[in-house]
């Protein structure tokens, strides 16, 4: 367990937790060796025992280790201590771009361009090292207090080579490129697409593609066209709108091929917002040999260019499915309206060619009819006899195109996105206009296919509808512990539950989760109702005026407002027992329970009566001691004897 005050490697002292992601928690710490603050990312305990997760976690550090750039969060160290796996990174004080957009809404055009340029500069440095981020999104962009933009979290980055990388769809679905959503390759241009989505969100104040599930959003990334930003934010310049649209092209080859090109256009857009300098990918001209147009191809051209009339790829795709080609046409036009002129030009060229061919065919038919009418050569059989048109006319049926076949694969256990991509390759349609049914399954992971119709091995015609049923996993989950979190963050963790928020007064910061009902770690069914109690801040009351009231009335008045009080008695000119002063004064807004000081008069201070000082008594003179008087012998009385007897 990670606690404040603990040390890692006798070097890093944990200070406090500052963030949490899907697989890792982030703590602020102090490096005592270099005397600096750092951020330490810990792999969460539930993933620490998974060797694959640990390997990927370490790969993040390896991916970032060689990246040194002002717009990339630096990695300083990586380590393990017991079951703790951690990465030590640069500490960036600030907020995420996602939080900034939530607080500000649509960003100022120049501000958005400045942020985008810094993000692109960070990506350019990573791409120069052949590292693709693969998860560019506002949540992974940090705006420092100094105004520096930092790209963070290369958690799913991979070193690329010249070879195409085949891997599962990864990244955050709202910012995922179409090729990633299909589970196909991804390269530097995938980062450019995700940056395009991020720029769109900065300028529009909202995401271009949303849905009621990750699956529906991923499908929207593949199929849908974003609403033009200028219709949402009229302050956007034409140049920037073209830049964003080019970044968000469905096909990688239509995007910027390098981040440096994007940076150059972004800088140009600042000084030339109305300029037409954003280059679009020109239509490629095939150098393949001229081919004769077949009857089926000609028919398809007449029916509306079902075999890629607007296709800018090589023209030798004879087996391309008409329906897929039509979809490709629609996507291509939606992706880049600036290419419409190229397409129209090609259209007229091909229409001219077709018209010439049709004219030649028509002339040939007329010639044949004239010859036949004059000679009857085409009305004779092989014996030279005329054919009776009413009895012997036969017609050769027009060959119909044989529908292409497909065999239904086994999709059970595959992710929805992977299954969708496989069906697209086979030319099978998936019912995507409705949310697929979801059922609980102990064996099939969440968001994976648990049922399919038709079953594996069924023979299907291209274009057939396939219905898939998704698993919601075991169907149960534990209520996450969101106490103390900001409500925005708590909502993300509780997205699988039906959340009701209730405000409650508390000393906690406004918007902080106080508790939930059911409480954290309670096992509930997904989709169950949960009440989240959110702090509305401390309840405030206004201090009433009690000056002039008797003490009894003042106490009663203050208690009625749920305030506390202290009594201070002092002498004053006011009648005894009456309040003559209070602190704070009346009409002051304070928290409920605040202590008010009330000063109660003891009446006028009594005046002391004058006192007389007694005269000092005279000190008595000492009594003189009497001096004894000497006496003579006295003769005894008559009865005394005489001398001499």
Into how many domains does the chain fold?
5
Nearest to 315 by CA among 291, 299, 335, 336: 291
State which of 425, 450, 471 marks the end of a domain. 471
Find where tokens 């991804």 sit. 186
State which of 582, 601, 620 marks the end of a domain. 601
In a domain, 51, yes or no: yes
CA dihedral 622, 623, 624, 628 (to 10 degrees): -150
In a domain, 321, yes or no: no
Q: Which pLDDT belongs to residue 592? A: 86
In a domain, 449, yes or no: yes
Clarify whether residues 268 and 170 are in a common domain. yes
Q: Which pLDDT belongs to residue 619? A: 63
Find where tokens 């009418």 sit. 373
In 153-261, DSSP assigns E strands to 158-159
Clarify whether residues 180 and 87 are in a common domain. no
Q: Which pLDDT belongs to residue 345? A: 41
230 has a pLDDT exceeding 90: yes
Clarify whether residues 140 and 40 are in a common domain. no
Clarify whether residues 565 and 481 are in a common domain. no
The CB density around residue 258, as the number of other CB atoms within 10 Å, is 15
Cα 630 from Cα 610, distance rounded (Å): 61
Taking only the tens place, the pLDDT of each residue in 560-587 is 998 999 999 999 999 999 999 999 999 9
CA dihedral 514, 519, 521, 522 (to 10 degrees): -160
- Segment 516-527 mean pLDDT: 87
Record the tokens describing residue 288, joined without a space: 């393949």
In a domain, 570, yes or no: yes
Cα 286 from Cα 204, distance rounded (Å): 39
Find where tokens 């256990």 sit. 413
Taking only the tens place, the pLDDT of each residue in 349-370 is 444 555 566 666 666 676 656 6
- Segment 46-51 mean pLDDT: 84
State which of 416, 443, 471 marks the end of a domain. 471
CATH of the domain at 451: 3.30.10.20
Q: Which pLDDT belongs to residue 288? A: 37
CATH of the domain at 31: 3.30.200.20
Cα→Cα distances 626→620, 621, 631, Å: 18, 15, 15
Q: How many CA atoms lie within 13 A of 240 on its CB side?
A: 27
Cα 348 from Cα 367, distance rounded (Å): 28
Q: What are phi and psi of 144, to 5 degrees?
A: -75, 165
In a domain, 259, yes or no: yes
Clarify whether residues 444 and 499 are in a common domain. no
Q: Which pLDDT belongs to residue 613? A: 61
Clarify whether residues 26 and 76 are in a common domain. yes
In a domain, 615, yes or no: no
Clarify whether residues 501 and 547 are in a common domain. no
Q: How far is CA 36 from the centre of its chain?
A: 30
Q: Which pLDDT belongs to residue 347? A: 43
Tell me the pLDDT band of 433, cut-offs 50, 70 and 90. very low
The CB density around residue 355, as the number of other CB atoms within 10 Å, is 10
Clarify whether residues 194 and 45 are in a common domain. no
Clarify whether residues 111 and 82 are in a common domain. no
Q: What are phi and psi of 579, to 5 degrees?
A: -75, 130
In a domain, 631, yes or no: no
User: Which listed residue (77, 135, 191, 321) is catalytic?
Assistant: 135
Taking only the tens place, the pLDDT of each residue in 269-327 is 988 899 999 998 754 433 333 333 344 433 443 343 333 323 333 333 333 343 333 33
Q: Which pLDDT belongs to residue 641? A: 41
pTM of the model: 0.47
Clarify whether residues 181 and 213 are in a common domain. yes
Q: Which pLDDT belongs to residue 469? A: 82
Nearest to 546 by CA among 599, 487, 494: 599
In a domain, 143, yes or no: yes
Number of helices (H), then strands (E), belonging to the chain: the values are 17, 27
Q: List, in order, residues 6 or more apart from 281 with CB less than 8 Å away.
A: 253, 254, 336, 339
Domain span holding position 51: 1-91
Please provide the DSSP assignment of 324-366 as one string: HHHHHHHHHHHH-GGGHHHHHHHHHHHHHHHHHHHHHHHHHHH
Strand order in the sheet with 149-151: 94-96, 141-144, 149-151
Is 135 part of the annotated catalytic residue set?
yes
Report the length, in residues, of the chain. 645
Clarify whether residues 277 and 425 are in a common domain. no
Record the tokens describing residue 438, joined without a space: 């979801």
Clarify whether residues 211 and 133 are in a common domain. yes
């Amino acid at each position: 367990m990670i606690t404040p005050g603990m040390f890692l490697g006798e070097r890093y002292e944990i200070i406090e937790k500052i963030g949490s992601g899907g697989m890792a928690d982030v703590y602020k710490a102090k490096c005592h060796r270099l005397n600096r603050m750092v951020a330490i990312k810990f792999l969460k305990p539930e993933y620490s025992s998974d060797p694959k997760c640990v390997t990927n976690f370490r790969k993040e550090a390896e991916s970032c280790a060689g990246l040194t750039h002002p717009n990339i969060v630096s990695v300083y160290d990586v380590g393990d201590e017991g079951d703790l796996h951690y990465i030590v990174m640069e500490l960036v004080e600030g907020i995420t771009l996602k939080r900034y957009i939530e607080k500000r809404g649509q960003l100022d055009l120049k501000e958005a361009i400045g942020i985008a340029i810094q993000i692109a500069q960070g990506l350019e440095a990573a791409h120069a090292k052949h590292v693709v981020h693969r998860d560019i999104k506002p949540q992974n962009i940090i705006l420092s207090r100094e105004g520096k933009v930092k790209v963070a979290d290369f958690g799913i980055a991979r070193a690329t080579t010249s070879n195409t990388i085949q891997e599962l769809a990864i990244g955050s679905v709202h910012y995922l490129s179409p090729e990633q959503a299909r589970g196909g390759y991804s390269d530097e241009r995938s980062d450019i697409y995700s940056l395009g989505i991020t720029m769109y969100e900065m300028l529009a104040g909202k995401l271009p593609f949303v849905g009621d599930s990750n699956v529906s959003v991923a499908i929207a990334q593949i199929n849908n066209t974003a609403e033009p930003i200028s219709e949402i934010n009229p302050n956007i310049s034409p140049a920037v709108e073209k830049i964003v649209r080019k970044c968000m092209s469905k096909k990688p080859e239509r995007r910027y091929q390098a981040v440096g090109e994007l940076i150059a256009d972004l800088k140009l857009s600042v000084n030339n917002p109305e300029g037409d300098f954003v280059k679009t990918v020109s239509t490629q001209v095939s150098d393949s040999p001229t081919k004769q147009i077949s009857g089926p191809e000609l028919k398809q051209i007449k029916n509306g260019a079902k075999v890629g009339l607007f296709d800018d790829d090589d023209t030798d795709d004879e087996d391309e499915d008409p329906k897929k080609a039509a979809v490709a046409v629609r996507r291509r036009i939606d992706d880049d309206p600036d290419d419409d002129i190229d397409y129209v030009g090609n259209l007229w060229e091909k229409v001219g060619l077709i018209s010439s061919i049709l004219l030649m065919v028509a002339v040939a038919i007329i010639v044949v009819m004239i010859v036949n009418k004059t000679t009857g050569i085409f009305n004779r059989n092989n014996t030279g006899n005329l054919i009776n048109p009413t009895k012997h006319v036969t017609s050769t049926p027009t060959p119909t195109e044989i529908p292409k076949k497909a065999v239904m694969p086994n999709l059970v256990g595959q992710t929805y996105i992977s299954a969708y991509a496989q069906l697209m390759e086979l030319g099978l349609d998936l019912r995507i206009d409705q949310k697929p049914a979801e059922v609980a399954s102990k064996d099939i992971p969440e968001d994976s296919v648990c049922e399919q119709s038709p079953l594996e091995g069924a023979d299907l015609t291209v274009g057939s509808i396939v219905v898939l049923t998704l698993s919601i996993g075991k169907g149960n989950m534990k209520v996450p512990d969101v106490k103390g979190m900001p409500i925005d963050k708590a909502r993300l963790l509780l997205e699988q539950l039906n959340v009701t928020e209730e405000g409650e007064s508390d000393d906690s910061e406004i918007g902080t989760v106080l508790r939930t009902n059911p409480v954290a770690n309670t096992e509930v069914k997904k989709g169950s109702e949960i009440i989240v109690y959110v702090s509305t801040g401390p309840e405030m009351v206004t201090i009433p005026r009690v000056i002039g009231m008797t003490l009894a009335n003042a106490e009663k008045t203050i208690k009625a407002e749920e305030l506390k009080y202290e009594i201070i008695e002092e002498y004053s000119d006011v009648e005894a027992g009456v309040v003559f002063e209070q602190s704070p004064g009346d009409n002051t807004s304070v928290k409920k329970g605040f202590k008010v000081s009330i000063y109660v008069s003891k009446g006028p201070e009594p005046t002391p009566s004058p006192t007389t000082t007694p005269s000092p008594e005279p000190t008595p003179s000492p009594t003189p001691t009497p001096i004894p008087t000497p006496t003579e012998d006295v003769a005894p009385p008559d009865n005394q004897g005489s001398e001499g007897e």
